Structure 1
Amino acid sequence: MENLIKTPVEMLSHWVDTQGDKVYLRQPIDGKYVDFTWREVQQKMHQIAGSLRHLGLERGDKIAVLSKNCAEWFIVDLALMYGGYISVPIYPTANAETIRYVVEHSGVKAIFTGKLDHWAEQEAAVGGDILRLAMPYDTMPAQYHWQQLLKLGQPLVDEPLPTADQVMTLIYTSGSTGKPKGAIQTFTSYGWACEAVIRDLQVNTTDRLLSYLPLAHITERVAIEGSSFYSGATISFVEGLDSFVDDIQRCRPTVFFSVPRLWTVFQLNIINKIGEKKLKTLLKLPIISSIVKRKIKSGLGLDQSRLNGSGSAPIPPSLIQWYNNIGIDICEAWGMTENSAYSIINYPFNAKKIGTVGRPVEGCLVRQTEEGELLVKSPGLMSGYYLQDEATAAAFTEDGFFHTGDLCEIDEDGYIDITGRVKDNFKTSKGKYVAPVPIERKLAQDSHVDLICVIGSGLPHPVALVQLSEGSKLQPREEVRTSLKETLDGVNPHLESHEHVDAIIVVNDEWTIENDVLTPTLKIKRHVLEKAFSAKVDGIRGAKVRWEDEL
């Protein structure tokens, strides 16, 4: 059977034929765009693929990519596909230990490095005989630089197209529960997911997308990079964290995906500028309300965005509701590395279903186990975990459904509410099981809470660890304490007695990727916090609110 799903390499040829001189990639350098047309991207792809052959790398070899998002990331990705190589993307924020693990486990022969904030700390992980190839940014020392790679050997042309079941990439999970696993994605599984995004979200050549969430993560690789391959849309990149807002305003995206963390930051900025009470008042006045909404949208650079999404971690329903009130609808979506990220989405946006992740997309089947675990099956599913046959076998049912590890409820309209993780449920010292996620969601309604993690394995009762929002850190402690105590006293009576939260502990140190509390996709590593806090919080009773320095 011929390959019905076209590969990104074929799609590139299509856009070169139909709009070859149109700008495809826009890379800001020193505050100005450096533009690449579709034709230029294809020429560079041929040249980079040719230089890899010249350097003795063969079809089927694995090559890592370690860089923040940039135009060259796309070009390298296409060159690896075209040359028959298997790409292994690594998070640009990964620490040396993770990089070393991925590089050794996958067996890469070469690595492309690009824009990195802390390459000096990461460099030791890329050792020995791995060939280093550099993109044109401040990056770790390399044997070959971008300008050299664009001249080495002969451009590679007339290569056989990738076949449907050929492995395109190994995507390592962000490792929220232990060592990362490498999900094997083929040209078919990746292509199916990208085409499904285009079909449902109706992205086309007139769309402008902004690429800034890590490309090493499946969501960005499918929803943004993949969308552009299959829709012919234009992509702009971000120069740096300081220029982020300017970069959004310069791009004025028509489709914009983000993560809960960033939607929260935007919300705080808006509230700090206008003031919460004033904003509520203004939104009640008919004509003023629409002017205020317009101003907020254009201040964010989202006045042209017809679709806003959130994924990769749970977003508080109250936050989506808040945005809905100011005229910005955020479609929550759910996906995993293992199913090419695109499975379930609340699109078209349904305000009545805020708090759910939406319904399965066409071609994706879902069902529940007796325990309430969500099982999914779609053509976007991985072939398995690289070199981990046992983990692969355990991940699938006999009829090919994937065990997501997420607990869910499915309503009568088919909308799915993710209620927690199977592995997150812990046993207290009283031998009772507790599901922490629903408790976290209730406590997180307090606006002083930025991040929250409920622990309790082996403790008499659960305890909530809280990182305060920026503004709350500046407020008097007793004010914050009173609010958190009210929230806690409002939540506990609605929980089973064994679920009652004994204390809220406000932590001293910020939770970050660097101190290993957050994964690169900003999920909280519960096991890390349990290890750090279980002994500290044992013995606190009676629904207290304490700061870590008061323990």
Structure 2
Amino acid sequence: MQAFNSPLEAFLYWETTTPNKVFLRQPVHGKIKEYTYAQAGVEARKIGAYLKSLNLPEQSHIALISKNCAHWVLADIAIMMADCVSIPIYPTLNADSIHQILIHSESKAIIIGKLDDFESQKSGIPEIHKISIGLYDQSSGMLWEDIIAKQDALVNINLPQKEKLHTIIYTSGTTGIPKGVMHSSGSFMESSKTLKTHFEFPDHLKLFSYLPLAHVAERVLVNAGLVFGGNVTFAESLETFAKELEATQPHLFFAVPRIWTKFREKILETIPQNKLGILLNIPVINTLIKRKLKQKLGLAEAVFIASAAAPIASSLVKWYQKLDIKILQGYGMTEDCCVSHFNTHQNNKIGTVGKTLNGVKVKLTEEAEICIKNNCLMLGYFKNPEETTKVFDKEGYLKTGDKGEFDHDGFLTITGRVKDQFKTDKGKYISPSHIELLLSHNTDIEQICIVGTGIPQPIALITLSELGKSKSKIDLVQSLMDTIKSINPNLEKHERLEKVVIMKEDWTVANGLATPSLKVKRNNIEKIHQDYYQSWFEMNDFVIFE
């Protein structure tokens, strides 16, 4: 692997050595628009030159709000070329949240790309310089295409030192106000190097980018593609996603547990579980079925298939394993640039997040909190020295807020969040995550939040999967009761679930009950529903429809 100090240095290397190699592939109205490294370089240099023409101070903060697309990556490179710091913003945030981030980050300009509903968001943008991409029907401020047509390209580009501030990533935040995580250029180079150390990648690396690039995990993967001189394909829309993934057949594929659940639902809509089970037990036929399903999912050429960001049910991982799809679970966070723990092809234990990665030091506190030290820890929280001090211990370890335990073979299991514990009115503390994981084996359930403050026993608040929504009320109640009866004996007495409450609406980013990375926002859910816990607990029904 070529050694680089920054993503920009990596891009310039491939621009020089492989100018005609395809770098970005963007679907537009069903047709693919390709950018070679040379073409990408021209566009990025012109946008970079325009940013410099604004006479902003060096290391000015430039925001970027867009769904994943070729222009997201071009804009990111342009920001680096202009000696500026990128402030990525989730494309689904509302106007108030966008405004909060732009003001806190002191952004001097914003690049506006592919968005679903910019009309409802634009009031959140203060009076700063704006660049809009006409290809995605945006027209605020200067037009990207006009800059490309008129601006001379940057010639002299300063390469950043690896210690220099590269980006501020505002955490999606399951609790509280998002914090701005500062990372240097070297952080992403270290994460790419760690990936390469543990996994074998083909020379002509293909990636498919669809999870938000404002999230650290997707940014790490796309940066890895840049470091390895690969190419990145984007999805045009949710409707075309499956077809484009199948056509791409990426070498790396990362998904959060909810997406793996959705994939399984789609497969079972075509081949019911009973039929699939029979076919997988027939020699020769089973090979054809596995090959066809992997091809259809877009995973026929994948050498690294991963799940992270939230716990995934072991039963789901084993289900995919029967299709020869090996999902490797890992663990990392924005603050450690995703370099912490991961299962590998050689060392994989389902139900754990793997062994400690090379270059990582880890320790557990007396309360079992996981503390991490690596070569790509954040520089701190922007304008928040108090929180920065709180999150590092005296030896420089990052306090993750997650609790865990190691087995005798060195595999780490996440057992909960330090702050997610709640106390029932019996005075017993409960960590909900392991109960939620047991409950997630039921395919009728989409999202889970175990609660119980102020009542004698915990209850499960859930939303239904498409499969669950399609069932009759009687069948659904029976399914949920069977699951609770099977898991309660394995729990401590004070942890046993007393009720299941089915929510009227799903928990989404739009209603503020899920993060952009699809994690449940426990605090927000509790705020809305806590007043009802007692009345639900006192109802006669075991399964309650909100």
**1:203 counterpart letter in structure 2:** F
Correspondence for 2:242 among 242, 245, 270: 245
Q: Structure 1 residue 282 and structure 2 residue 275: aligned?
A: no
Q: Distance in 2 between matches of 1:139 and 1:386?
A: 33
Q: Look up the match of 1:341.
A: 338
Indicate the SS of the match to 1:210. Answer: strand
Q: Look up the match of 1:38.
A: 37
Correspondence for 2:506 among 507, 510, 522: 510
- Contact map agreement 1:82 1:159 (CA 8 A) in 2: yes
Q: Aligned in 2, Cα 1:255/1:193: closer, same or farther, shift over 3 Å?
A: same
Q: Distance in 1 between matches of 2:509 and 2:405?
A: 30
Q: Look up the match of 2:110.
A: 111
Correspondence for 1:212 among 207, 210, 213: 210
Alignment of 1:288-307 (within 5 A): 288-307=285-304
Q: Look up the match of 2:131.
A: 133
Q: Look up the match of 2:77.
A: 78
Q: Look up the match of 1:457.
A: 453
**2:183 counterpart letter in structure 1:** Q
**2:77 counterpart letter in structure 1:** L
- Contact map agreement 2:87 2:167 (CA 8 A) in 1: yes
Correspondence for 1:374 among 352, 365, 370: 370
**1:31 counterpart letter in structure 2:** G
Q: Distance in 2 between matches of 1:464 and 1:443?
A: 9
The offset of 1:146, in angstroms, is: 1.0
Alignment of 1:155-166 (within 5 A): 155-166=153-164
**1:260 counterpart letter in structure 2:** P
The offset of 1:547, in angstroms, is: 3.0
Q: Look up the match of 2:386.
A: 390
Correspondence for 2:316 among 308, 315, 319: 319
The offset of 1:541, in angstroms, is: 4.9
The offset of 1:5, in angstroms, is: 4.4
Q: Look up the match of 2:403.
A: 407
Q: Which digits, 9 at most, give the CA deviation of each residue in 1:452-481, with x for residues without a partner?
A: 110112222211011111122121111111
Could you state the TM-score of these two structures normalised by the residue count of structure 2? 0.96
Q: Distance in 1 between matches of 2:347 and 2:505?
A: 38
Correspondence for 1:477 among 464, 467, 473: 473
Q: Distance in 2 between matches of 1:255 and 1:190?
A: 17
**1:154 counterpart letter in structure 2:** D
The offset of 1:490, in angstroms, is: 2.1
Q: Distance in 1 between matches of 2:408 and 2:372?
A: 18
- Contact map agreement 1:429 1:460 (CA 8 A) in 2: yes
Indicate the SS of the match to 2:425. Answer: coil
Indicate the SS of the match to 1:109. Answer: strand
Q: Look up the match of 1:439.
A: 435
Q: Structure 1 residue 534 and structure 2 residue 533: aligned?
A: no
Q: Distance in 1 between matches of 2:362 and 2:540?
A: 39
Q: Distance in 1 between matches of 2:48 and 2:538?
A: 63
The offset of 1:199, in angstroms, is: 3.0
Q: Look up the match of 1:258.
A: 255
Q: Look up the match of 2:178.
A: 180
Indicate the SS of the match to 2:486. Answer: helix
Correspondence for 1:420 among 397, 407, 416: 416
**1:196 counterpart letter in structure 2:** T
Q: Which digits, 9 at most, give the CA deviation of each residue in 1:291-310, with x for residues without a partner?
A: 11011111112211122111
Q: Distance in 2 between matches of 1:10 and 1:272?
A: 47
**1:200 counterpart letter in structure 2:** H
Q: Distance in 1 between matches of 2:263 and 2:270?
A: 11
Correspondence for 2:521 among 521, 525, 543: 525
Q: Distance in 1 between matches of 2:158 and 2:219?
A: 23
The offset of 1:499, in angstroms, is: 1.6
Could you state the TM-score of these two structures normalised by the residue count of structure 1? 0.96
**2:36 counterpart letter in structure 1:** T
- Contact map agreement 2:7 2:188 (CA 8 A) in 1: no
- Contact map agreement 1:455 1:463 (CA 8 A) in 2: yes
Q: Look up the match of 2:20.
A: 21
- Contact map agreement 2:311 2:437 (CA 8 A) in 1: no
Identity of aligned residues (%): 37
Q: Which digits, 9 at most, give the CA deviation of each residue in 1:388-424, with x for residues without a partner?
A: 0110000001111100011111111111111111111
Indicate the SS of the match to 1:464. Answer: strand
Indicate the SS of the match to 1:73. Answer: helix
Q: Structure 2 unaligned segments of length 5 or more: list them.
A: none
The offset of 1:342, in angstroms, is: 2.6
The offset of 1:488, in angstroms, is: 1.1
Q: Which digits, 9 at most, give the CA deviation of each residue in 1:120-160, with x for residues without a partner?
A: 11111002x21111123335541101112224543222232
**2:88 counterpart letter in structure 1:** P
Q: Distance in 2 between matches of 1:305 and 1:5?
A: 25
Q: Distance in 1 between matches of 2:114 and 2:427?
A: 49
Q: Which digits, 9 at most, give the CA deviation of each residue in 1:344-376, with x for residues without a partner?
A: 11112655x101111121111111011111111
**1:261 counterpart letter in structure 2:** R
**2:273 counterpart letter in structure 1:** E
Q: Distance in 1 between matches of 2:456 and 2:214?
A: 40
Alignment of 1:143-162 (within 5 A): 143-162=141-160
Q: Which digits, 9 at most, give the CA deviation of each residue in 1:213-272, with x for residues without a partner?
A: 11000001111x211221001111111111001111221112211111111111001111
Q: Look up the match of 1:193.
A: 191
Q: Distance in 1 between matches of 2:364 and 2:523?
A: 26
Q: Distance in 1 between matches of 2:11 and 2:443?
A: 46
The offset of 1:174, in angstroms, is: 0.5
Q: Distance in 1 between matches of 2:473 and 2:533?
A: 19
**2:195 counterpart letter in structure 1:** V
- Contact map agreement 2:5 2:161 (CA 8 A) in 1: no
- Contact map agreement 1:489 1:543 (CA 8 A) in 2: no
The offset of 1:507, in angstroms, is: 1.1
The offset of 1:196, in angstroms, is: 1.8
How many residues align? The count is 544
Instruction: Report the aligned-residue RMSD.
Output: 1.7
Q: Distance in 1 between matches of 2:540 and 2:525?
A: 20
